[in-house]
A and B are shown apart, each in its own frame.
Chain A
């Protein structure tokens, strides 16, 4: 088990539990009662810790190495999945996966960022940081979905679009912009869920939809707390303050009206009970698709554009008339 820094009290309790178990195995003392007590204590401690998470702690949870990723959720939620590769221009980006799947008796196109499960795979997946090919593959699959009237599901989990030399040469910005433009007018329903990290353009590049949800312990922001700290505080050490200032948690995002809902995670986070998490995720996506499929495409597109057009807060009755200082 991997324990995050704020989970240290739990780690100690688990250590105690292991010791008691060992004693119990020796068969001299009856430890069942002690074990039961300790397990209750663990449950309560976990509940305590998880009911008061700070922004930064949620960021850490969203990056937990044991957290389930896109392909896991697909395998749990979909009966059949055929992965489709390549953008038909340059190559196949491993940081974004996608394909045709059977979801609750209907065919869907499901797309998501994919991180690696171990060191080797993390590199192979480029840590979930897509190049333009990834966004163009995603667009190709969405267009395919549109042609055959399959709904689109996207799962978001990225520390950002890859800031590399080739990415710039091949138009990282254009690829993301094009996706936003095309997704706004896609004639099939789009449901997006942030399942881990939702960093900036890299996230929204597959994240414009009729419904956007966030898992409880994820974040969505214009910049990662680390980069924000480095730019605004001129130091990497203010990531915790930055995480608070950016108001990047699911609760904040819902309060601001920038997402449509929050999907609760099991106590201890998605990785503590991945199967249960997948069930909860599936339930919410199914509900959203049912609602969306009752609408006409034009009506759906109009509602989608209006939803985004209404995002933004500003004053319209200025008290000032600024004058340039001499």
Chain B
């Protein structure tokens, strides 16, 4: 028995009287449901100040976190996806692209930048999940290929930060071939003995995991990220059993031998700096 009884069902407040918090001021954690201010979140490396949950962030947030004095130069910014197939599902692909650009302010699901980490050169290619699910199409593949060429020319090490649902369906086999393209290009980096670090963040699945994300000289990840080939829903439907707790998390992959280590986001910059020093670059 409750102490109070609801007399009228539903929400009674008129929409015009609704009290809305300005967007971008508060953050409610998906994990612990606690609220914090955006300022607190930002100061805490975009980790929930209450439970440490690593919030999904974009390419430029990573650039700010990693490069010295937030200083970096973005490269290859004039590449745009093209609707080669005339792909239309519920929406035409060009429309999806336009929407994604407007929503995210980005041009595609990856951004490449060069800068310094404790005075050492580094090229970072970071994926953006809020651009069509961070999906890999021709532009993502080409930017990675160009980043690799740039690293070969300047002999700078490469960090790729993956955050993706996999290959982009709207470019069909072109997307699929980006797996071969990026992997083949990475062999050139390996032959030139230029280190490639792969950071897998939440989520990294599908064709990206099955190509460049797993091919780092060092593969590492943020805590509790979803990492896998097939998505958990597909696996569950296939085997018709519930998946064990912690399946396909960073910790699971570390345990099974597919990651070198897991790093907290607050230590990310330091870890990279240590690696660059140890590689004596």
Chain A residues with a Cβ under 8 A of chain B: 161-165, 167-174, 176-178, 180-181, 184-185, 200-201, 204-205, 207-208, 220-223, 227-228, 231-233, 238, 241-242, 245-248, 252-253, 256, 258, 304-305, 308-309, 311-318, 320, 322-325
A-B contact pairs, 27 of them (CB 8 A): A163-B235, A168-B229, A171-B256, A173-B229, A174-B214, A176-B179, A177-B213, A201-B176, A201-B207, A228-B169, A232-B89, A232-B169, A245-B87, A245-B89, A309-B145, A309-B184, A311-B141, A312-B141, A312-B178, A314-B80, A314-B142, A315-B81, A318-B80, A320-B101, A322-B104, A322-B107, A325-B103
Contact B214 A315 (CB under 8 A): no
Contacts A165-B243, A233-B89; A322 near B105 (Cβ below 8 A): yes
Smallest beta-carbon distance B176→chain A, Å: 4
From B88, B139, B167, B185, contact of A305 by CB (8 A): B185
State whether A184 touches B238 (Cβ < 8 A).
no
Tell me if B178 and A170 are in contact (CB < 8 A). Answer: no
Is A201 a contact of B138 with CB atoms below 8 Å? no
A253-B173 in contact (CB<8A): yes
Determine the distance from Cα of A51 to Cα of B229 in the docked complex, in whole angstroms.
38
Partner of A173, one of B81, B106, B209: B209
User: Given contacts A176-B210, A314-B82, A322-B101, is CB(A165)–CB(B247) below 8 Å?
Assistant: yes
The CA of A202 and the CA of B212, in the complex, are separated in Å by 16
A305 touches B188 (CB 8 A): yes
| Chain B hits for A323, CB < 8 A | 105
Is the beta-carbon distance between A314 and B167 smaller than 8 angstroms? Answer: no
Contact partners of A176 in chain B: CB under 8 A: 179, 210-211, 229
- Shortest A200–chain B CB gap in Å is 6
Query: What is the CA–CA distance of A180 and B209 in the complex, to the nearest angstrom?
Result: 12
Which chain A positions have C-beta within 8 A of B229? 161, 163, 167-168, 172-173, 176, 201
User: Is B261 among interface residues, defined by CB-CB distance under 8 A?
Assistant: no
Contact A165 B142 (CB under 8 A): no
Q: Report whether B230 and A177 are in contact in the complex, using a CB–CB cutoff of 8 Å.
A: no
Number of B residues near A (Cβ < 8 Å) is 69
Given the known A-B contacts A163-B230, A248-B172, are A173 and B210 also in contact in the complex, defined by CB atoms under 8 Å? yes
Contacts of A246 in B (CB 8 A): 85, 87, 169, 172-173
CA of A223 to CA of B89 in the docked complex: distance in angstroms?
A: 14
Tell yes or no: B26 within 8 A of A by CB: no
- Contact partners of B101 in chain A: CB under 8 A: 320, 322
Centre residue among B87, B103, B207, B248 by max chain A CB count within 10 A: B207
Interfacial chain B residues near A208, Cβ < 8 Å = 180, 183-184
A171-B258, A313-B138 given; A184·B172 CB < 8 A: no
- Which chain B residues in 69-127 approach chain A with CB under 8 Å? 78-82, 84-85, 87-90, 101-107
Which residues on B sit within 8 Å (CB–CB) of A172? 210, 229-230
Q: How many angstroms between the C-alpha atoms of A304 and B84 in the bound complex?
A: 23
Cα distance A178–B229 when bound, in Å?
13
| Cβ–Cβ contact A164 & B238, under 8 A | yes
Contact present for A164 and B172 (CB under 8 Å) = no
A322 touches B173 (CB 8 A): no
The answer to whether B250 has its CB under 8 Å from any CB of chain A is no
Chain A hits for B88, CB < 8 A: 245
B181: chain A residues at CB < 8 Å are: 308-309, 311-312
Give the distance in Å from the alpha carbon of A324 to the alpha carbon of B79 in the complex: 18
List of 8 A-B pairs having minimum Cβ-Cβ separation, nearest first: A324-B105, A163-B230, A312-B138, A180-B183, A184-B184, A232-B89, A173-B209, A173-B229
CB <8 Å contact, B176 and A204: yes
8 Å CB interface, B6-63 against A: none
A177-B85 in contact given A184-B183, A309-B181 (Cβ < 8 Å):
no
Asked if A180 and B211 sit within 8 Å, CB to CB, the answer is: yes
Confirm or deny: B174 has a beta carbon within 8 angstroms of a beta carbon on chain A. yes
**Contact A233–B90 (Cβ < 8 Å):** yes
Chain A contacts for B174, CB-based, 8 A: 256, 258, 311-313
B168: which A residues are within 8 A, CB to CB? 222
In the complex, are the beta carbons of B247 and A222 less than 8 A apart?
no
Inter-chain CA distance A258–B141, complex, in Å, is: 15
Judge whether B172 and A201 touch: CB under 8 Å: no
Flag whether B186 is at the interface (Cβ < 8 A).
Answer: yes
